């Protein structure tokens, strides 16, 4: 009973110290915002690059080329790949990006033949607005991924211009993978004509679906062997391995961001500890008075830990909420060499960040709480 | 009951060879040295003496805020040195109300909340706490200031709130450390009147440290400390008789 009443008293006193509480909460919120953003980058990288046993997609690229501007494959390769045992489908795809370097707002055009639209697009997306027929009905029609549409505020009928190409939005599509959620699918002939430096009959890559996920590597080897002595030798990788290689710079950035996450946690610890220690120094006499009234040291220590936990919790909720809002509304994706990594807010990440901040808050308040509760009352009463 | 306990019960407060020693580096400071003292239940005692004579040290020991280095201190049949830190806290909550010179109200709590503080340590419902808090504020004539924060009160009002906080849990012992030290004469008289009433009407045992001869004059029993030892004791017999009568009539 005394513990609960002391906790309630501590929270009331904290709420009345608005400036102190607000400053501590603001600092913690910023740290948790950084933590959530870092976790979003991390989970985006994992989502885009971590292979799993259900993956069935291969990317066939020109050997020793690492950029969509330099990878050139004959369109006819698609038919030859389709005939390889274990291949379910092969779709030639032209990739044109608005920015080949790392950028937060990259538009990736994916040119697909009309004949491949059903299996190359419709089979892997869900239509949010518009239809495949509407897409095929006009030469400059585009199916825009949901993340790109949200970022650019696009709806069917709007026009999108990037990399010198202007398309008309025929539909909005959602997908499980970040590459498709951020893509702008257009018809291949249109893209080959609209993009400078792209020749008819050539594409950037082939996207191959294999029948058996267990044979992903085996099929990749067969494809590369088929074209090893051809005019345009290939390098075939599972899509996520391809993304991991293409986005190696982003992975490095994400690893660095991991340090920011650790830094954010340390910042939360330091902020809570600082707020509590400063507050206790300022309230030495107040605590001594409470002890003189009869509050046991343990109850006061509990109250102080409740206070530090409350600061951490409120700061974490504000920070995680702000991060979810910013990341959710912004729909940011970081692109490099035509592959994209999304920074999406996640309820699990937000909850984990709040829990982590709370744990750090408790830990940060513990030592000052114990020290304060053990301080001699008489000394505390003499404090200024 | 042991002989020692029986002896201790004879007086409400009994100090036997009470000694407090502080160490500051190599220097040993002895603010209280082998103090023997008995204070009857229901007495109103003023404790005077020059600075450094050990008055506040004695008050801190009586309040259970500090521990003696040697000797025994019995209060209402309880030997304080045998209590753990937590037991002492419980004892303070039940048995003693402390009034400080600088009021020591919690600045972020209202007068009502400050007075209610000791009751949070007792098994009382919210309604019971409210009734007792309002009664204590009524006693110090500050019901109309219940929602005011300490910064919105005068010094005299703050001290009256502190007195309300000291008496709200109905402890048998009130300890006041220079309760009028920071007050003007009018406010000081109000506070002293209040302490006198608590002594006369409710039979509280009150020990008041003061430098102020006018304040000391209000107490029937006057103790004078010097260099950690009791130098003189003066009893106003008429007033003491009144104190004993009050103590006998009003249950502590």
The tens-digit pLDDT sequence of chain A (384 residues) is: 889 999 999 999 888 888 888 988 998 898 889 888 888 888 888 877 776 777 888 999 998 887 787 888 998 899 999 999 999 889 898 888 877 666 677 888 988 888 888 877 888 889 999 988 989 998 899 999 998 998 889 999 999 988 888 999 999 999 888 888 888 999 998 888 887 766 778 899 898 989 888 888 899 999 999 999 988 999 999 888 887 777 777 777 777 878 888 888 888 888 878 877 887 777 888 889 999 999 999 999 999 999 889 998 999 999 999 999 988 887 777 777 777 778 878 888 889 889 988 898 888 888 888 888 888 888 888 876
Pairing of β A183-187 and β A205-210 = unpaired
Alpha carbon distance A335, A341 (integer Å): 6
For residue A257, what are its two tokens? 């961001």
Shared domain for A26 and A120, answered yes or no, is no
Cβ(B45)–Cβ(B221) under 8 Å? Answer: yes
Shared domain for A206 and A341, answered yes or no, is no
Percent of chain B with pLDDT over 90: 44
Alpha carbon distance B56, B47 (integer Å): 9
Among A232, A267, A301, the domain-final residue is A232
Among A232, A258, A279, the domain-final residue is A232
**Does residue A54 belong to any structural domain of this protein?**
no
Shared domain for A217 and A271, answered yes or no, is no
Shared domain for A264 and A320, answered yes or no, is yes
Planar angle of CA A352, A358, A360, nearest 5 degrees: 105
CB atoms within 10 A of CB B214: 12
Alpha carbon distance B236, A215 (integer Å): 107
Residue B112, CA atoms < 13 Å, CB-side half-sphere: 11
Name the residue in chain A with its Cα closest to that of B94: A294
Shared domain for A218 and A108, answered yes or no, is yes
Closest CA to A378 of B150, B104, B4, B251: B104
Alpha carbon of A29: minimum distance to chain B alpha carbons (Å): 25
Q: What is the pLDDT of residue B128?
A: 95
Q: Is A289 on the interface with B (CB under 8 A)?
A: yes
For residue B9, what are its two tokens? 């019960």
Planar angle of CA A362, A367, A370, nearest 5 degrees: 105
Which residues, including other chains, have CB under 8 Å from residue A3's CB and lie 6 or more apart?
A298, A299, A302
Domains in chain A: how many in total?
A: 2
**Does residue B137 belong to any structural domain of this protein?**
no
B246: pLDDT strictly greater than 60:
no
Among A174, A201, A232, the domain-final residue is A232
**Does residue B220 belong to any structural domain of this protein?**
yes
Alpha carbon distance A115, A169 (integer Å): 20
Alpha carbon distance A328, A105 (integer Å): 15
Closest CA to A60 of A48, A45, A77: A77
Shared domain for A298 and A204, answered yes or no, is no
Alpha carbon of B251: minimum distance to chain A alpha carbons (Å): 22
Shared domain for A370 and A273, answered yes or no, is yes
Contact A292 B94 (CB under 8 A): no
Q: Bridge partners of B38?
A: B14
Find the domain containing A282 and state its range.
2-48+249-382
Q: What stretch of H or E contains A150? A: helix A146-152
Shared domain for A187 and A38, answered yes or no, is no
pLDDT band at B151 (very low <50, low <70, confident <90, very high): very high
Cβ(B116)–Cβ(B164) under 8 Å? Answer: no
ipTM: 0.85
CB atoms within 10 A of CB B25: 5
Alpha carbon of A313: minimum distance to chain B alpha carbons (Å): 22
Q: What stretch of H or E contains B207? A: strand B205-209
Shared domain for A39 and A166, answered yes or no, is no
Contact A16 B108 (CB under 8 A): yes
Domains in chain B: how many in total?
A: 1
For residue A66, what are its two tokens? 């690492």
Q: Bridge partners of A121?
A: none
Q: Is A114 on the interface with B (CB under 8 A)?
A: no
Shared domain for A227 and A255, answered yes or no, is no
**Does residue A278 belong to any structural domain of this protein?**
yes
For residue B176, what are its two tokens? 């006041």
Pairing of β B96-99 and β B78-79 = unpaired
């Amino acid at each position: 009973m005394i513990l609960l009443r002391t906790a309630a008293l501590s929270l009331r006193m904290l709420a009345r110290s608005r400036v102190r509480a607000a400053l501590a909460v603001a600092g913690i919120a910023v740290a948790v915002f950084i933590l959530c953003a870092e976790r979003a980058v991390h989970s985006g990288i994992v989502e885009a690059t971590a292979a799993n046993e259900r993956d069935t997609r291969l990317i066939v690229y020109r050997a020793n080329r690492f950029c969509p501007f330099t990878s050139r494959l004959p369109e006819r390769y698609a038919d030859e790949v389709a005939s390889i045992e274990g291949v379910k489908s092969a779709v030639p795809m032209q990739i044109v990006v608005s920015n080949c370097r790392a950028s937060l707002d990259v538009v990736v055009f994916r040119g697909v033949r009309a004949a491949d639209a059903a299996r190359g697009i419709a089979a892997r997306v869900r239509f949010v607005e518009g239809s495949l027929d509407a897409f095929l009905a006009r030469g400059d029609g585009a199916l825009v991924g949901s993340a790109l549409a949200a970022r650019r505020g696009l709806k069917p009928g709007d026009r999108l211009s990037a990399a010198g190409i202007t398309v008309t939005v025929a539909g909005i599509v959602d997908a499980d993978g970040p590459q498709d959620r951020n893509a702008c699918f257009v018809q291949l002939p249109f893209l080959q004509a609209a993009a400078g430096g792209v020749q008819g009959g050539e594409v950037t890559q082939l996207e191959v679906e294999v029948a058996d996920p267990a044979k992903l590597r085996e099929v990749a080897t067969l494809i590369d062997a088929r074209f090893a002595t051809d005019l345009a030798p290939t390098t075939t990788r599972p899509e996520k391995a391809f993304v991991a290689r293409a986005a190696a710079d982003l992975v490095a950035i994400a690893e660095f961001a991991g340090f920011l996450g650790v830094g954010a946690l340390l910042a939360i610890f330091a902020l809570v500890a600082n707020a509590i220690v400063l507050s206790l120094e300022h309230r030495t006499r107040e605590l001594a008075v409470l002890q003189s009234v009869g509050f046991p040291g343990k109850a006061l220590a509990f109250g102080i830990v409740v206070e530090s936990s409350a600061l951490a919790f409120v700061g974490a909720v504000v920070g995680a909420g702000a991060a979810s809002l910013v990341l959710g509304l912004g729909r940011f994706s970081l692109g490099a060499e035509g592959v994209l990594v999304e920074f999406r807010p996640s309820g699990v990440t937000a909850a984990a960040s709040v829990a982590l901040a709370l744990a750090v808050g408790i830990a940060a308040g513990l030592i000052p709480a114990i020290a304060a509760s053990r301080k001699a009352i008489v000394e505390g009463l003499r404090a200024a | 009951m042991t002989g020692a306990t029986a002896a201790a019960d004879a007086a409400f407060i009994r100090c036997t060879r009470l000694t407090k020693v502080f160490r500051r580096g190599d220097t040993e400071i002895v603010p209280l040295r082998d103090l023997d003292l008995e204070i009857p239940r229901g007495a109103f005692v003023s404790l005077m003496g020059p600075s450094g004579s050990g008055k506040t040290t004695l008050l801190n020991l009586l309040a259970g805020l500090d521990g003696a280095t040697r000797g025994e201190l019995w209060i209402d049949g309880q030997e304080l040195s045998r209590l753990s830190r937590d037991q002492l806290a419980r004892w303070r909550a039940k048995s003693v109300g402390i009034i400080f010179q600088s009021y020591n109200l919690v600045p972020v709590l209202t007068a009502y909340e400050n007075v209610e503080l000791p009751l949070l340590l007792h098994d009382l419902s919210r309604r019971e706490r409210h009734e007792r808090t309002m009664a204590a504020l009524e006693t110090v004539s500050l019901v109309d200031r219940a929602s005011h924060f300490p910064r919105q009160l005068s010094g005299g009002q703050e001290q009256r709130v502190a007195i309300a906080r000291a008496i709200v849990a109905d402890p048998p012992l009130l300890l006041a450390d220079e309760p009028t030290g920071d007050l003007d004469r009018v406010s000081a008289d109000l506070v002293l009147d209040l302490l006198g009433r608590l002594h006369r009407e409710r039979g509280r045992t009150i020990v008041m440290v003061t430098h102020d001869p006018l304040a000391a004059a209000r107490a029937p029993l006057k103790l004078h400390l010097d260099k950690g030892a009791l130098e003189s004791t003066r009893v106003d017999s008429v007033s003491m008789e009144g104190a004993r009568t009050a103590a006998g009539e009003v249950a502590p």
